[in-house]
Amino acid sequence: MAIDETASVVDSTLGDVEIREYVTVHDSRIGSGSRVYERTSIKKSVVAGPADVNANCYVENARLGERVQVGPNASVVGVTHDRSETGMEFRNDTFGEVVIEDGAFVGAGAVVLPGVTVGENAVVGAGTTVADDVERGTVVRADASTASRSL
């Protein structure tokens, strides 16, 4: 596998991986057999591998299991900001690790918020924002009337 010359890898450990154009990897570990596609940023995360993180994704403070697939334009965001009476606390990050278990799939444009666990072989449908844990083998979609079903 290969790492493109335009990729930026800082303070990270990479197995035998494919890292495409304009990817940034900071303070992370990416396991062998993983592929990270164009214009993706991975920070403070562990990708067990093999796994695929598609183009234009943002992954921070997350743990991705084996055979995980993250669709294009998805965000797996384990960081937020506290709010006080005066509003958001500027530049004061609050972390809540996101866990994407083995075999799970996060669809295109989906957002997984801090502290969420997506269970083994679960599916987060395209365009869905997930604020609560997703049980293993469950499908969640953006349309609340079809929120989930078991596989």
Q: Report, as residue numbers or ranges, the catalytic residues.
A: 81
Type of residue at 31: G
Measured in degrees and rounded to the nearest 5, phi and psi for residue 71 equal: -70, 170
Q: To which residue do tokens 């062998």 refer?
A: 32
Residues 130 and 143: their CA atoms lie apart, in Å, by 12
Residues 131 and 114: their CA atoms lie apart, in Å, by 8
Q: Residues in the chain, how many? A: 151
